[in-house]
Amino acid sequence: MSLREELELLNKNEWQNDLVKIMPLTTEKELVFAAYECQLTDEQKKFVSPIWFTIGRAYLYKDDNYPCIIYNLDNMPIGFINFYKWIGDKNAYSWSYFIDLKYQKKGFGISTAKLAVDILKNANSNICIKLASEKDNYKAHNLYLSLGFNKSPILDGDDIVFVL
């Protein structure tokens, strides 16, 4: 079964926690939010792939990618997340995400990461979750370690890999 199929089998309530909910990107308005309205600091922009690269990959490899919008519980879009199959490892899933600058430092980032773990584990409890991070993205490193990930000795290009 593909990642997309596994995710689409989840119940709607499995896509939400006490701060955020994640919903598939399905409208032009959501695409505009993710690509243009959702803002990051200049430092953060160094750490994430350009949105059009992620959206393009999701379009080309639909079964292995699942782009979504992150909402707060007031139904305001606050970020973007893409769930994807780890390239080169059919037994691992991953995600990349970012939270809009206006909503940072309010707990949405860690809440989204916790929910992402839950979503992927509920979709397939036997799957490994791997996350890659730039070597100098210490905030991400600390977040992943706090969620129970371990730093892997293997690199993804020059990125550090964390495994759960």
| pLDDT tens profile 31-47 | 999 999 999 888 888 88
Q: Which pLDDT score, from 0 to 100, does residue 151 have?
A: 97
Q: Which pLDDT score, from 0 to 100, does residue 67 have?
A: 97
Q: Which pLDDT score, from 0 to 100, does residue 40 have?
A: 87
| pLDDT class of 116 with cuts at 50, 70, 90 | very high
Q: Which helix (H) or strand (E) holds 48?
A: none
Q: Residue 126: how many CB atoms within 10 A of its CB?
A: 6
Give backbone dihedrals phi and psi of 40, rounded to 5 degrees, phi first.
Answer: -125, 165
Helix ranges restricted to H, the chain: 3-8, 28-32, 42-45, 51-60, 108-123, 138-146
Distances (CA, A) of 151 to 46, 69, 117, 119: 21, 28, 16, 21
**C-alpha angle 146-150-151 in degrees, rounded to nearest 5:** 110
Cα separation, 46 vs 44, whole angstroms: 5
Whether residue 74 contacts residue 21, with contact meaning beta carbons closer than 8 Å, is answered with no
Give the residue-averaged pLDDT of 94-101.
95
